[in-house]
Structures are given as C-alpha cells and as structure tokens.
C-alpha cells in the first residue's frame, strides 16, 4: 500500500490518497459488516473510542465504470474526525487533523481492517 497525504497550510484539514497492492483486500473487510459490529471491532483493534461512527456502502459511477465502495466517518472524543472512501484498488481520506496525525490514523485503520497489509513509507505533499 502507498499512502500520500496532502495538506493546506494554517488549516487543520488534510486529504489522503491510498493505493492498495493487488493482493491487499480492504473493501471486502468492510462490505457485509453492520456498523455496530465494525465500530466495536475497530475500537478494540485501534484501542480508541469513537463518539461518532458512520458506515455506508454503495457504488460510484466514475466515467461509466461502476465501482463498489464503502464510506466511513469516524470521530474521536477529542473532536478529531476522519472520513474514508474505500474502493477495491484505492481509497481517499479526509481529516481535520495535521497530515502527520492523518497518516498515523489512516495507517492504523487500514491495519485494523487487514493486519496483513504492509505499509510503505509515506509521501507527504504540502500545499499552500
């Protein structure tokens, strides 16, 4: 997996792009689970409490290609929030945290969903 994080200066907001290797299954680990079960599993695996947890599944029609997707929004007690759209080969994420915190949370979330994923070094790109 390759994870890139983009940031806007002086604003606590960051955007991430995650590319999965062909053998790394993430979407299937989310599809078919109800939100209560997935929330409990992630809280236990990540050793955190989510004050808000949203889960939606569906499809994206991108240039005529229909892709399965899962959307999650997770909020912690400190008010930090994290959104992720997961597709078969990639994901994109949004956070109201610094790029470093965003990267750390995204990496922990992906590992919690599939412990077999190997996370390579990040590529951090700052935007002003």
What does the pLDDT look like over 58-74, one tens digit per residue? 999 999 999 999 999 99
Q: Do the Cβ atoms of 20 and 3 come closer than 8 Å?
A: no
Is pTM beyond 0.75? Reply is: yes
- 67: CB partners within 8 A, 6+ apart: 59, 60, 61, 87, 88
Low-confidence ranges of the chain (pLDDT < 50): 127-128
Which contacts (CB < 8 Å, 24+ apart) does range 33-40 have? 38/72
- The alpha carbon dihedral of 48, 52, 58, 63 has a sign of negative
The SS3 of residue 48 is coil
């Amino acid at each position: 997996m390759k994870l890139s994080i983009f940031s806007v200066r002086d604003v606590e907001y960051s955007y991430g792009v995650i590319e999965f290797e062909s053998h790394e299954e993430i979407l299937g680990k989310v599809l078919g689970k109800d939100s209560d079960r997935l929330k409990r599993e992630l809280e236990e695996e990540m050793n955190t409490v989510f004050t808000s947890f949203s889960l939606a599944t569906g499809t994206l029609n991108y240039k005529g290609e229909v892709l399965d997707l899962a959307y999650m929004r997770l909020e912690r007690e400190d008010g930090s929030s994290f959104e992720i759209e997961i597709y078969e080969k990639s994901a994109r994420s949004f956070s109201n945290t610094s790029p470093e915190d965003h990267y750390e949370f995204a990496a922990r979330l992906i590992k919690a969903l599939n412990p077999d994923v190997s996370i390579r070094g990040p590529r951090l790109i700052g935007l002003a």
